[in-house]
Amino acid sequence: MGQCVSKEKHSDVPPRTSSQQMPEANALLSNLTSLPNFYNHSPNRNLSSFSQNDPKYEIVVALYTYESRSDGDLSFKRGDLMYLMDSSNVDWWYVQRTADNKTGYVPRNFVALQKTAESEDWFAGKISRNRAERLVLSQSLPLGTFLVREREVMPPEYALTIRDYGENRPCVKHYKIKKTDDDGYYITDKRIFHDLRELVRYYRDNSNGLCQKLTVAAPRIMPARPDLCYQTTQQWEIPRHELQLKDKLGDGNFGEVWHGRWKGSVEVAIKTMKPGTMSDEAFLQEAHIMKQCAHQNLVKLYAVCTKEEPFYIITEYMCGGSLLHYLRDDSNQLSIPALIDMCAQIANGMKYLEERKLVHRDLAARNVLVGDKISGVPVVKVADFGLARKLMEEDIYEARMGAKFPIKWTAPEAAICGNFTVKSDIWSYGILLYEIFTRGQNPYPGMHNREVIEQVEQGYRMPCPKNCPPEVYEHMLKCWHQLPEKRPTFSYLYNYFDDFYRSLVSVKDSFHSDLCVGGGCLSLQFLRSHGVWKYLLHDHLPDSRILVDRSSNESWRMQPTRLDQLYSMALPCTAWGASCDMVLFLQRLTPHYQTFLLMTLK
């Protein structure tokens, strides 16, 4: 990848290599590796006299199995009960196992307080609507498969997601769970429940207005551990001999990335740094930024090795490798909905950085990692915070003299002047969208770096990729606005892509003046103004279409050559009010959805 050297903005001191250890680096390392202990318990206390009925201590239940790799941690199996001794740490709780009175730390996201909604297998926590749909639509699950999730709104609200069946295909329905002033819960005001557990018990036995009776809970996805062990939350430096480098995943200007294991069992990614490529202070600053960040769409930093070169950064392992290689692999069949979902996940991770005034400076498909799939859609996380910087009050980071960065992903104001902001990350996100919808093609094909800078300054923007939804391309162009302040925020982009297929939700509603996709309704005016109708007709329907006239039950097959004619017929209808004389069924199939478009025609 070509690089650009920024022009001098101020008199930065040239970086010193690791051989020139700096006092600032020593101080930072001291801060990173010897954080204070905020816990007020005494691990050596005799807890054997505690009774399970002792009201002083709450009981937690294990949601997953966890195997300890440190003396301070406690192993447990799913369903084990433990007394909660100390909950002052957000990531690790100190507990005593009820079965044998052994004590230790357990990861907070692996346990829950007993007899709460969180302890139930149907409670999914704060996940997006899209992920909830993918979970209940997993293969081989029965009708009525469900989960309760915390909606992504403030103040917190809950929603019930249920697997249903309609129009010869599985579908999903969502029900908002409302709360009364006295902390009761209800879906309809005809019946109010004391808590979520009582609500679920009732609807397991009675559908009472729901699409299905609740049957089985959707599968839970095991979360990533918050750290390698409790000790590494306070002591980031780990002995190098505890790591095994197994398979080389890639290399770059700064070093190599390996798939490895910690203590022989915990899978990790190990980033090795070439000697002399980064100062001690810069390396530790990278580690400090990564350790502060905790989000489902950001790669988690676990530990570092800095006692000798090459330095190591140890992070969570993502089994799918880089998004760039994943996109280029023809064996990975990705539908448009899957690509849209990945766009939303990446924007969600960047939204977290945006809210904390962190600028990434190297957002690209090569720096996004791919994990396991949920209902055919891979989990993706933003990685490589090696260039990340905390913005000052003026919200601008000025690159030091001699700094290098990838031109084709870099906003013009950053490439020319070295001024990086969250808005320059937005530009890079637009380039990343191009990579996603071209399945990993290089941006600005056939152009060298200097030509890219000149052409972009003159207003050139890459054309819409083949098979890319026009709405997505419109948002690429928004990300590439010449004026940084005119570019959208990551918060907006996340909401946009997360809602892109909101219409796939099957909620049986009136067909009056609405176009319904999978049963969910969007106004015809909205669809017409956003060009969605043409996009669905031309890009997402199979080679043959079945049109059904409800009034006569006559059906016929229309060949692809008739698409333009069909569009010409349908377009003016979107401007009218609807009647129920005829309903046009357009069946479109993707690897993960079977979606029916229902459009009422006048």
SS3 485: helix
pLDDT value, residue 151? 85
The count of residues in the chain is 602
Structure tokens of 459?
A: 């207003």
CB 430 within 8 A of CB 343: no
Rg (CA), the chain: 27
Residue with tokens 């709450």: 58
Tokens encoding 244:
């095994």
Report the C-alpha gap between 346 and 548 in whole angstroms: 40
Burial of 335 (0-12, 13-18, 19+ CB in 10 A): middle
Q: Which residues of the chain carry a pLDDT beneath 50?
A: 1-25, 28-29, 31-52, 391-402, 503-602
Single-letter code of the amino acid located at 131: R
Category of 263 on φ-ψ map: left (φ > 0), alpha (ψ -120 to 50) or beta: left
pLDDT at position 510 is 27
CATH T-level assignment (fold) for domain 331-548: Transferase(Phosphotransferase); domain 1 (1.10.510)
The pLDDT of residue 113 is 96
Backbone φ and ψ for 378, nearest 5 degrees, come out as -70, 145
Residue-level pLDDT at 517: 33
**Of the options 3.40.50.2020, 3.90.550.10, 3.30.465.10, 3.30.505.10, the CATH number for the domain spanning 122-205:** 3.30.505.10
Asked whether residue 508 is marked as a ligand-binding residue, the answer is no
* Secondary structure percentages of the chain, helix, strand, coil, to 5: 30, 25, 45
**pLDDT at residue 132, as a whole number:** 92
CATH superfamily name and code, 59-117:
SH3 Domains (2.30.30.40)
Q: How far apart are CA 291 and CA 234, in angstroms?
A: 11
| Beta-bridge partner residues of 361 | none
Rounded CA gap, 344 and 485, in Å?
22
Closest C-alpha among 408, 422, 419 to residue 359: 422
pTM recorded for the entire structure: 0.72
- Residue 293 CA to residue 281 CA, distance in Å, equals 19
Active-site pick, 362, 425, 498, 514: 362
CATH superfamily of the 235-317 domain: Phosphorylase Kinase; domain 1 (3.30.200.20)
How many whole angstroms separate alpha carbon 363 and alpha carbon 386?
Answer: 11
Catalytic residue status for 362: yes
Q: Where are the domains of the chain?
A: 59-117, 122-205, 235-317, 331-548
